[in-house]
Each structure stands twice: as structure tokens, then as C-alpha cells.
Structure 1
């Protein structure tokens, strides 16, 4: 093959970028993985007959965001790869951006298959959960922390549906009830979730996929995130269960359930403040500073006050 292997091609592109003063883009190429995919297409270019190759560049979430939000940078990388691949008999057909999925760091095209000359897999193909993890990392890189939290609490299923002459991947992202109710009221949040999943699942041959949402019905609820998890562990040791019930507008409402009663717990941002208790909808409500739960000694103090509030509450 006259076209160099993906790694050699990437080295050539990196050298061209460095020579043209694009050190940042050269470093991005160096920490990414370039792969040749599919068979070469035959092109006629005047008197020349060339083989045109497709290349995918597998990048980390932060680099994916950097390139998709600044298309000019991706274009300069593509030009460098095209120059590195150009010879009397070869050309670059396309350079596609693919997200590296956890845990192996491979693109989803490794799982989707269909590339006869793709590099051998050193790890098993990433499961659909890897797409979900990659989507959450994308949201983190995009600083969309609400969407990141929703995806980290979610589960995912995958199927293939026939669309015209080809099949399309379809993902069902299952959300906990509070998150599902929230995206029904917040279409931009729903689109941010769907966009992240589509971007995480994109491959050179299958750039599009369908994303749908449903309720989590399979087994236990998603684990609580920090700092909720610390409070949950402390309360569990005292015989009290902590359950998320709503996450409106970035806030979190939890219910502490004990043998003697029920207490609503609202997580609020900002510095520590004294706990405020007042009756509301026939249930005691406590406001807890999230910052207070970053120190172990305060977590136990807060959980003790919740237990005390439960003792004064009654299930109605």
C-alpha cells in the first residue's frame, strides 16, 4: 500500500502542521489516533488514476469539542492529512472526526463493524454504555453540567432499524423519573442530551443515529453523584434511605425516608448556612448546603440533623 499506515500518516500531518506554525493542532494530532477505514476508491484526476482513502481521527472529548466548535481548525488538520497522503497514485478522500469512547479509547466504528481492513481490536468492542460515557464526557467538555449529570444517571440500550437500503443505529436513553420529567419541560436540555449521544456514536460510515428517551425500568436506580452519595452513605448507616425525586433547574430534591417519617431535602449551591426547617406540603423540609457535604465531619452532622427531623416528622 502506497498510503502510509494511519500512524505514519498522522506523523506526516503533524510535521506539516508544526512546520506551518500550528503547534497546538500538531499536538492534538499527536495525542489522537488516525485509522484507515474501508477500501480505497478509484478516482480519475485528469490523466491520473489514483486510489482515494478514508481516514478517521479518533480524538478525546475535549479535542472533539475544540474542533467541532472551531471548524477552521478541523479544516487545517484535514488539509495537512491530505498533503501527507498525496502521491502520484494516492489521495485523501475524507477525514472524519470520531470520539474516543471509554474504556478502551476506540471509536464507535470499531463496534459497528463493516470495515474489513480496520486495525485489529486489542480490546473487546465498546458496549453501548461506552457511548453513554462518551456522551457524558462531551457534555462535561462543553460545560453543560446539567446534561452531564442526567447522562451519568442514565442507562442506554441499542438496536438497529432498517431505513431504506441500510440499517440505522437507534439508542434508547433511559432516565430516572425526575430527569425524564425535566426534559419534557426543557426541550433544549433534551436536544443537548441527544446531540451528545449522536456525536459519541458517530463513525465514518455511520455518521447519523436516532436517539430516543424513556424511563429507567431495569433494576436499581442510578447511583447518586457526589456530594449526594456521601450523605446517602452516612444516612444509610443510621437506617435512613435517601432517594432523588426531582432536579428542577439544576437543583436537586431528595427524600429521606426513615421508620418514623419522611423529610424533603433540597440541595442548594453556595457556602454553608444553618439548616432551615419549615413545614411544607405536610412534610418537613431541610435546606442543605452542598458545600457542607465536602467535609466528612460535616456530612455526619448534617445526616444527624436529618435523622432528628425524621424523629419529629410523621408520615401523612
Structure 2
């Protein structure tokens, strides 16, 4: 059965997010401190990174995730240490994990274990836990699987439709088959990278014209609003039929990992707060920009993000832009 830990009492209870996190990880990262190894062990994976940034932005997340095996026994205490609320579903398979070495400045993968497929009863429990959390939330963030085959077919088509039936808005960060399925259920906000847009066949290349055409296709397929991150280039957003660009400060990169998840969390926090689209985009861009300046994935203080958001410009993209 799913169980929930107590959420951080410092967080306002009036703002809450349900986060569908089907493939959590236990992460081990080796850094260098004055020539000696410095080992960091954390909970990770897309949903957890999104949840961590949501909390920084004043929205209390409820992470809905499976947990099993030796690594799973580590995951709970790691999340509890961060005061993150969790709805855990016990699984027979072992929670995924990875070991990365950053002593040379760049990440080198030492070892990775893939997430185990969830059994029918486990998947049902995870689905139910997510619906329960979404019914009590101001926004539901739907994150994708790290690998294919973790969830039963049709999960991503049903979940956004059922969350909509509860009256809770959805923000999704998806690609591949999970994205195609979720579009059938309808999404309020879809965040996707330009590489994923091209790789999945929605756009033929990375030009603004091609990306706009791909965003139009995604909108026609079921995404009400579409936000495309573009690494160091300004993000693009299709909102109510208008294409806008999001120009944020370009920061010196320490680690790019988690920038997109931070942006997703910023967008979701904007939805939960009831911000207008321009302010939600500024918040998302600022959260992503600050993340790359830090060693921790999806970290950064709210006051710093709010300050950066004041430097983000949202402007219309003229027709025929290259």
C-alpha cells in the first residue's frame, strides 16, 4: 500500500503539487575536493528533481513513486531527510541507481541499473496514489519513464484524462511513446526540448519555423500550451495560438543536468500560483538558468530565482523568423 511521509511544515499547505514519478533513482556522485574523493548520495530522477525545485519555489510536492530492493530501502530515508512528501508503492523490482564520477569536471558514468517493470498491482497502486494526490493538489506534474516498458500500456493516455476529470491542471515533461499517449488524454502544459521534438519526428529540424510547425502539431494532438527548451537558445512557447520567445540570462555552466526539470517545475509552480503565462515562463526560465550554475541537480534558492526572473524577457516571435 502507498504511504505518505510528513511534508515540510515550512511549506504553505495552500499550494500543493502531485508529481507522477514512475522511475526514481538512487544517485551516487563522486566529486573532487582538494584532491580527495567527495561522495554524494541522493534521491534522483526526473520526478524527484521536479519536486525538489517545486519546493524551492514555494509549492509543496507530493511525489508518487515505486520503491523496492536494497536501493529502495535507501530512497525513503533520503527523501525524508529532504522533508519531501512521498506516496511510496512497494515494488518487487529494485529501485534504479547510478554511479557518476565528476572528478574531472564532466560526468562519467561508472554504472547504471535500469528501472524494473511494475507488476499490474504495483502499477494500479501507483496510479491510485497519484489520483489521490492530484485530487488534493493545485497542479499535477506528469513525468516520463527513464526506460520503456516500466508501466502498462495506456497508462499515460489514461492519467491526464483522469486528472482532468478531477479538475486539476496538468503540466507534463514527456517524450517518445509516453508523450504520444498523453496527448490523447489532453495536457494543459507540455514542456519538451527541441532535441526531443526533432528526434520524435514532430519537427524536421531545429529552425524556429520547423519547431513552430511541430508545436502546432502537438497542440492539435492534445497539448493546450507547448513550451520548447533550446539549451543556450531562447525557449519558445505556443500560448493561445501565439508564439513567443523567452530570453533569460545565459549563465556559466557548471552542470546542465536538471535545467529542463527545473524549468518544468517553474512552469508548474506558476500554474499553482495562478500566475499569468508571461510570469510563469519567466519563473521557469529563471529556475533553469540558475540550475546550471550549481553542482546539485534541480537546486537553487527561491529568492535568487525570483531575482533572475525579473531579467527574463518574453516577446512575440514574428512570422517567418528563421
TM interval, shorter chain, is under 0.3
Compute the TM-score of the two structures, normalised by the length of structure 1: 0.24
Structure with larger RCO (C-alpha < 8 A, sep 6+)? 2
Compute the TM-score of the two structures, normalised by the length of structure 2: 0.23
Q: Which has the larger radius of gyration?
A: 1
Higher helix share: 1
